[in-house]
Structures are given as structure tokens and as C-alpha cells.
């Protein structure tokens, strides 16, 4: 079973790297397209989308480094593995994403006070249509990888590009409406909405990463799955010192189980071994430690 898990993990690591490398290449293409679009239109919405794509490329680069580093096996200096790098990268992501959102808000406020004319709307619309198609391709591909690997980092990365799809569609509408007299104010207003959306996404990523680094317990749903396995074991009379946490994609579970004191050591060991295997099977990456207490 462990050998099968290692084989799956190796395949998943390759898929995860591919799922990040492809978006990085596409994001670099989007950067040049959107930067050109901003220069010819002066649209703040396109500028905000350019900054969002810049952050996506930067974050995807960090994610790739995190996935590669986290896949390293435990060693003498890191006996619990290297998965915490994913949470550290998550906090860095959140900081940079929140900073870009604040910058967009600043520019939007300035444009509301000092309105700017959006030019070459049609060209801008076509540029954003191309961006929409490329972003949609990334989301579809990463969703396919997530179904196979269940990787949190890829899921987080995919959320960035999904927001790009929604934001780009809104920008296309904004550029179309901005061509009408008196509707130019929509551009900075939309940019503000995009900024708030980006900021909320940053808070969500930051909160999850912070909770993992602070060893917060697993969700109640996950804890109940573990407890159900223990309760279904007729040999376990009770349990205590139940602790759980998550580091990146790896889950850690430890507890004391109460067994009949008349059981011989081999029988008790088999019971605990079976419990550890069943709990470990709930996740692809997990460390389960169970201590036996005689009663």
C-alpha cells in the first residue's frame, strides 16, 4: 500500500509541476498582451488585470518552487518532511496579492477624482478576449490536474486564474460600455471591485496558511471521519490525547487508544496498525501515530 502511495505521489508531483509551469508560460504572454492593451487604451481596468497577471506569474513561480521543495522526502534535519514550505509560500502570496489590490484601489480613487478617457476600446476588447480564452484554458487544465492530485497549492493557483476569467469578462463589458458618453466612470469603479475581490482572495489564502503554520486542528468534518474509524473498532475501548494538524498537503494525527490489558503485545500491535492504515487512507499524504494504553 505504501509503495502504491509513493508511486502515486511521484506521478502527482510531475503533474503538479506541469500544472504550474504551463500557466507561468501563458501568464508571461498575457503580461505583454495586457501591458500593450493598457498603453493603447489607458484603461485602469486593463492595468489592474495586468497587475493581477503579474502577480499570478509571480505566485505560480513560488508555487512551483514550493511543490518541488515539498516533494523532498523527510531527512535528518526535517524528520516531518518539507510540506510547511507550501504554507510559508501561501503567506508570501497573500502579502503580494493584497499589496497589488491596495495599489489598484489607489489608482481607481485617483481616476474617479481625475477621470481619464479610455481610448481604442475595440482593440482593448479584442486583447481582453484573447486573455479570457487563455485564462479559461489554464483553469480547465488545472481543474483536470486537481481531480487527480487533490493538491492545495494547485487549487490555490487555479483560483487565481478563475478570478482572472471572471475579471476579464467584466473588463470586456466595461470597455464596451465606456465607449458610450458618460459611462467612463465605470472603468475605475470596476477596477475598485476587482481590487476588493483580489484583497478578499489574499485574506483567504493568508488565513489558511497561517492556520496551518500555527498547527490549527483539522476541520470538524475531517476529525469526525477519524473518530468514526476509531468508533467502528470493537477492540478500542476509548481514546484520548487526540491531536490533528496539517502542514501543506500532509496531515498529522496522533492519539492514545485504550485497549484491554489482557491482550498480548502482538494482538494489540495489529489492532493499532490496522487503525493507522485506515486513518492514513483518508489522505494521500499523512503521518498517523497511535499510542496504546492498557485498561
pLDDT tens for each residue of 173-196:
777 776 665 566 666 777 777 778
**CA–CA dist 23, 138 (Å, integer):** 6
The pLDDT score that the predictor gives to residue 111 is 67
Pick the closest to residue 148 from 284, 52, 57, 255 (CA basis): 284
Q: How confident is the model at residue 67 (pLDDT cuts 50, 70, 90)?
A: confident
Give me the mean pLDDT over the 280-295 stretch.
Answer: 87
Span 129-133, mean pLDDT?
88
Tell me where in the chain the CATH 1.20.1510.10 domain(s) lie: 2-213
Query: What mean pLDDT do residues 206-214 have?
Result: 82
Instruction: Measure Cα distances from 62 to 3, 17, 101 in Å.
Output: 29, 11, 19
Q: Judge whether 139 and 19 are in contact, CB under 8 Å.
A: no
Predicted pLDDT of residue 6: 62
Q: How far apart are CA 294 and CA 264, in angstroms?
A: 11
Domain 2-213 architecture: Up-down Bundle (1.20)
Q: Which pLDDT score is estimated for 253?
A: 92
DSSP state of 67: H
Q: What is the CATH number of domain 220-294?
A: 3.30.70.1350
CATH 3.30.70.1350 domain locations along the chain? 220-294
Average pLDDT over residues 105-133: 75
Query: CA-based angle 243:248:250, to the nearest 5?
Result: 55
Q: Binning pLDDT at 50, 70 and 90, where does residue 128 land?
A: confident
Is the pTM higher than 0.75? The answer reads: no
Amino acid at each position: 500500500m505504501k509503495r502504491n502511495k509513493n508511486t502515486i505521489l511521484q506521478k502527482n508531483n510531475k503533474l503538479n509541476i506541469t500544472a504550474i509551469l504551463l500557466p507561468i508560460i501563458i501568464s508571461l504572454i498575457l503580461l505583454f498582451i495586457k501591458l500593450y492593451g493598457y498603453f493603447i487604451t489607458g484603461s485602469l481596468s486593463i492595468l489592474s488585470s495586468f497587475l493581477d497577471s503579474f502577480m499570478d506569474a509571480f505566485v505560480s513561480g513560488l508555487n512551483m518552487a514550493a511543490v518541488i521543495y515539498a516533494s523532498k522526502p523527510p531527512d535528518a534535519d526535517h524528520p516531518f518532511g518539507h510540506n510547511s514550505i507550501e504554507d510559508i509560500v501561501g503567506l508570501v502570496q497573500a502579502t503580494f496579492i493584497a499589496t497589488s489590490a491596495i495599489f489598484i484601489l489607489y489608482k481607481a480613487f485617483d481616476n474617479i477624482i481625475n477621470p481619464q478617457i479610455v481610448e481604442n476600446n475595440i482593440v482593448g476588447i479584442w486583447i481582453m478576449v484573447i486573455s479570457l480564452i487563455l485564462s479559461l484554458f489554464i483553469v480547465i487544465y488545472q481543474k483536470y490536474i486537481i481531480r487527480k492530485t487533490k493538491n492545495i497549492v494547485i487549487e490555490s493557483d487555479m483560483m487565481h486564474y478563475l478570478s482572472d476569467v471572471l475579471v476579464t469578462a467584466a473588463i470586456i463589458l466595461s470597455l464596451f460600455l465606456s465607449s458610450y458618453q458618460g459611462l467612463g466612470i465605470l472603468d475605475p469603479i470596476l477596477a475598485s471591485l476587482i481590487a476588493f475581490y483580489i484583497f478578499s482572495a489574499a485574506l483567504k489564502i493568508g488565513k489558511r496558511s497561517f492556520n496551518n503554520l500555527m498547527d490549527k486542528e483539522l476541520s470538524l468534518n475531517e476529525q469526525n471521519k477519524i473518530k468514526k474509524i476509531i468508533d467502528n473498532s470493537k477492540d478500542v475501548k476509548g481514546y484520548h490525547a487526540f491531536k490533528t494538524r496539517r502542514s501543506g498537503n500532509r496531515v498529522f494525527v496522533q492519539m492514545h487508544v485504550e485497549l484491554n490489558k489482557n491482550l498480548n503485545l502482538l494482538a494489540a500491535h495489529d489492532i493499532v496498525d490496522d487503525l493507522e492504515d485506515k486513518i492514513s487512507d483518508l489522505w494521500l499524504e499523512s503521518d498517523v501515530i497511535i499510542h496504546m494504553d492498557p485498561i
